[in-house]
């Protein structure tokens, strides 16, 4: 586990103090005073990401830029099959990425959806926020915009993700012309079930020591989705939201459920009404359960048969996260970077 000790924090803070002016110059708006250290919260695949984000904020980076720097580690990791390079592709075998960013102090956001060939969509989302009067660009338009800003194009399909797609293609149906040599479709349905709701994603919420907030979510989305499908991750208010007077809220897991629940903004709104980050996330989980009504999405006990996780941080640096089913999330604060158990409505791991 990556450990950011208090001593390293103090050393870093001392080293950074000479060039921390962009953040340090702004007075805290909460009236609650300065935090002991910046804070970052992320999904369970973000342990190194939260540590880097906190480090960047100590160096004076804006929270939104620190969040994007953190998630970039995961976007560049070919072994994470839910984000950036190596993300599982759409049903045509093409990787399509979604991301959004939000900057608390300016109240601005930027996003890209169904972006192909660019492994760092969160960076492109930052450019949308800073270089356009729009919030969301999708598909070919997003790619052309990324090209205009000098992003390099590359094939995002790795050998592992191509093989996973091919296996899915061969086994998903016994009624098409794709055939799996080893199973010939016999067990294909079971395998298809396994990938039915396969999502991953990284969300990262960042709170600077002065209470400014920023956030980011980036993903390759639902595995083997219909081309053009956009999940919650690039939709501000769904997979990601922040309000500089309140804090950050974000989600990972089944994007359709989070969109229908407006998860990110719901979490932030709950905190604005006075709930702790943990209680805000638990309330969002209950909302997903309440809104999930169709039988095809319920298990034999009547519970949603998919996973959704919510993450929250407030301006005072308190964090919390909750999910329908058990799991972990990552946090970094004055005590260092660590993985923590998610609070969950149900004890089991996700199906
Ligand atoms: N939460 C990621 C997605 O469903 O696309």
CB-ligand 1 contact for 212 (6 Å cutoff): no
Pocket-testing residue among 96, 226, 231, 235, ligand 1, by greatest number of atoms within 8 A of Cβ: 231
Neighbours of 35 (CB within 10 A): 21
- What lies within 8 Å, CB to CB, of 146 at 6+ separation is 112, 115, 118, 124, 127
pLDDT, position 167: 85
Q: How far apart are CA 118 and CA 140, in angstroms?
A: 12
Q: How far apart are CA 284 and CA 263, in angstroms?
A: 6
**Distances 266 to 14, 242, 261, 274 between C-alpha atoms, Å:** 37, 11, 8, 13
pLDDT, position 19: 28
Residue 6 lies in a domain: no
Indicate if 317 and 247 belong to the same structural domain.
yes
Indicate if 283 and 214 belong to the same structural domain.
yes
Indicate if 246 and 179 belong to the same structural domain.
no
Residue 64 lies in a domain: yes
CB-ligand 1 contact for 83 (6 Å cutoff): no
Strand order in the sheet with 343-344: 240-243, 247-253, 308-314, 319-323, 343-344
In this structure, the residue with its CA closest to atom 1 of ligand 1 is 255
CB-ligand 1 contact for 199 (6 Å cutoff): yes
Mean pLDDT of all residues in the chain?
Answer: 88
Q: Exposed (0-12), middle (13-18) or buried (19+): which is 49, by Cβ within 10 Å? A: buried
**Can you say whether residue 114 is alpha, beta or left, with left for phi > 0 and alpha for psi between -120 and 50 degrees?**
left
Indicate if 103 and 250 belong to the same structural domain.
yes
Residue 286 lies in a domain: yes
From the list 308, 196, 213, the residue with the least C-alpha distance to 257 is 308
Q: Are 72 and 50 a contacting pair, CB within 8 Å?
A: no
- Domains held by the chain: number: 2
Indicate if 163 and 257 belong to the same structural domain.
no
Indicate if 63 and 40 belong to the same structural domain.
yes
- How far does the centroid of ligand 1 lie from the alpha carbon of residue 114, in Å? 12
Residue where a domain stops, chosen among 141, 169, 193: 193
The ligand 1 atom nearest the CA atom of 254: 4
CB-ligand 1 contact for 237 (6 Å cutoff): no
Indicate if 145 and 163 belong to the same structural domain.
no
Indicate if 140 and 36 belong to the same structural domain.
yes
> Is a pLDDT exceeding 90 seen at residue 230?
yes
Indicate if 213 and 148 belong to the same structural domain.
yes
The ligand 1 atom nearest the CA atom of 229: 5
pLDDT, position 246: 98
CB-ligand 1 contact for 161 (6 Å cutoff): no
CATH code: domain of residue 34:
3.60.20.30
Residue 65 lies in a domain: yes
Indicate if 124 and 270 belong to the same structural domain.
yes
Q: How far apart are CA 127 and CA 236, in angstroms?
A: 16
Residue 3 lies in a domain: no
- How far does the centroid of ligand 1 lie from the alpha carbon of residue 254, in Å? 5
Radius of gyration of the chain (CA): 20
Residue 349 lies in a domain: no
Q: Are 261 and 287 a contacting pair, CB within 8 Å?
A: yes
pLDDT, position 322: 98
Strand duo 240-243 + 247-253: pairing: antiparallel
Indicate if 65 and 86 belong to the same structural domain.
yes
What's the pLDDT band for 33 if we cut at 50, 70, 90?
Answer: confident
Tell me the per-residue pLDDT of 137-192, one tens digit each, with 9 for 90 and over: 999 999 999 999 999 999 999 999 999 999 888 877 766 777 766 555 455 455 55
DSSP 124-190: HHHHHHHH-S-SEEEHHHHHHHHHHTTPPP-----HHHHHHHHHHHHHS-SSSS---TTTTTTTHHH
pLDDT, position 3: 40
Residue 152 lies in a domain: yes
Q: What are phi and psi of 331, to 5 degrees?
A: -145, 150
Residue 219 lies in a domain: yes
Tell me the per-residue pLDDT of 295-345, one tens digit each, with 9 for 90 and over: 999 999 999 999 999 999 999 999 999 999 999 999 999 999 999 999 999
Q: How far apart are CA 98 and CA 233, in angstroms?
A: 6
Indicate if 85 and 147 belong to the same structural domain.
yes
pLDDT, position 134: 98
> Is a pLDDT exceeding 90 seen at residue 1?
no
Domain of residue 274 covers: 22-157+198-344
Residue where a domain stops, chosen among 171, 193, 215: 193
């Amino acid at each position: 586990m990556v450990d950011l000790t208090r001593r390293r924090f103090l050393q870093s803070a001392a080293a950074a103090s000479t060039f921390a002016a962009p953040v340090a110059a702004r007075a805290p708006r909460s009236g609650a005073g300065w935090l002991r250290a910046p804070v970052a919260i992320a999904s369970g695949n973000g342990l190194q990401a939260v540590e880097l984000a906190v480090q960047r904020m100590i160096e004076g980076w804006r929270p939104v830029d620190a969040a994007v720097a953190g998630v970039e580690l995961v976007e560049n990791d070919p072994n994470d099959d839910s984000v950036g390079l190596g993300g599982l592709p759409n049903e045509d075998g093409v990787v399509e990425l979604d991301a959004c960013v939000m900057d608390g102090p300016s109240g601005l956001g930027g996003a890209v959806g169904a972006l192909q060939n660019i492994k760092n969509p969160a960076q492109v989302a930052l450019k949308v926020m800073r270089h356009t009067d729009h919030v969301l660009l999708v598909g070919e338009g997003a790619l052309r915009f990324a090209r205009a800003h000098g992003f390099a194009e590359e094939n995002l399909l790795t050998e592992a993700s191509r093989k996973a797609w091919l296996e899915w293609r061969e086994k998903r149906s016994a009624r098409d012309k794709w055939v799996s040599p080893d199973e010939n479709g016999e067990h294909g349905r079971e395998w298809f079930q396994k990938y039915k709701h396969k999502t991953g994603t990284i969300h990262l919420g960042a709170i600077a020591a002065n209470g400014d907030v920023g956030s980011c979510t980036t993903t390759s989305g639902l595995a083997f989705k219909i081309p053009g499908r956009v999940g919650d991750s690039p939709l501000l208010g769904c997979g990601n939201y922040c309000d500089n007077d309140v804090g950050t809220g974000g989600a990972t897991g089944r994007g359709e459920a989070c969109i229908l629940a407006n998860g990110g903004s719901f979490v932030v709104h709950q905190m604005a009404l006075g709930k702790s980050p943990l209680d805000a996330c638990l309330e969002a989980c209950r909302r997903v359960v309440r809104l999930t009504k169709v039988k095809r999405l319920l298990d034999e006990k009547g519970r949603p048969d998919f996973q959704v996780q919510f993450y929250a941080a407030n301006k005072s640096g308190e964090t919390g996260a909750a999910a329908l089913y058990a799991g972990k999330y990552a946090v970094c604060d004055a005590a260092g970077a660590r993985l923590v158990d998610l609070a969950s409505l149900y004890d089991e791991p996700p199906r």
